[in-house]
Structure 1
Amino acid sequence: MNAIQRLRIIAWLEGISFLVLLFIAMPMKYIGGDLTLMRPTGMAHGVLFVAYVVFVLEVKMAMNWSGKKTVIALAASILPFGTFFINNKWIHRP
């Protein structure tokens, strides 16, 4: 599996984990007082976030991405649905 394929998978997983954290685990904690999902979801998202950053940097070197493109790809990881946008715009190429 090459760098771009790994980034594509991690981008999807990181995006899903972020959305689960924001729209399921956090409302359960703050509205329902239920902490059941916070720790596992937060941990999974943290690990996937770090992996996404590492793989973006790996793809930057492998594909000779510009600094601007790299910064945008990294910034997308802190926005809901951001990694899906980057995946569709720059990573998902047949």
Structure 2
Amino acid sequence: MDIKTASALHRLRLISIPEALSFPALILFGSVLSRVSDIDFLMMPLGMLHGALFVIYAVFLLDVWTKAKWPLKRVALFFFLAVIPFGGLYGDKLLKKYEADGVIAARARREGTVSA
């Protein structure tokens, strides 16, 4: 795995947790808060923040797709995980595994134990 692919995977991992938690933490909290009080002005900024995190996640996922040359099924899985609440937490676990596997394979190629 080259440095660009590793950094793309790392960026996707960095955004997956905040994106996964943004729906329950921001949207649901804002919804409950607007129902039990007169604080309606929070829903728009919280929704925009959640939307921005999702867009950043999608852009980073496309970056990983092009650099790591993932199959479409894997990209679709990670996109689906971003849509469901808390799905990004499982996605982060998978990304950690792919990142570790890539580092191990790159190290083995560099040491000459496995042919490229």
TM-score norm. by structure 2 comes to 0.70
**Deviation by residue 1:10-66 (Cα, 9 ceiling, x = unmatched):** 111111211213431122223445324312211111111001001111111111211
Residue correspondences, number: 93
The one-letter code sitting in structure 2 at the alignment partner of 1:29 is S
Structure 1: segments with no counterpart, 5+ residues: none
Please give the root-mean-square deviation of Cα atoms over the aligned residues, in Å.
Answer: 1.8
Asked if 1:66 is matched to 2:64, the reply is: no
1: CA distance between counterparts of 2:63 and 2:96? Answer: 16
Are the aligned partners of 2:20 and 2:88 in contact in 1 as well (CA < 8 Å)?
Answer: yes
Residue number among 2, 9, 17 corresponding to 1:4 in the alignment? 9
What residue number does 2:85 align with? 80
2: CA distance between counterparts of 1:78 and 1:31? Answer: 27
Write 1 or 2 for the structure with the bigger share of helix.
2
Structure 2: segments with no counterpart, 5+ residues: 1-5, 101-116
- Partner SS state of residue 2, structure 1: helix
- After TM superposition, what 4+ stretches of structure 1 lie above 2 angstroms from structure 2? 29-34
Q: Percent identity?
A: 31
TM-score norm. by structure 1 comes to 0.85
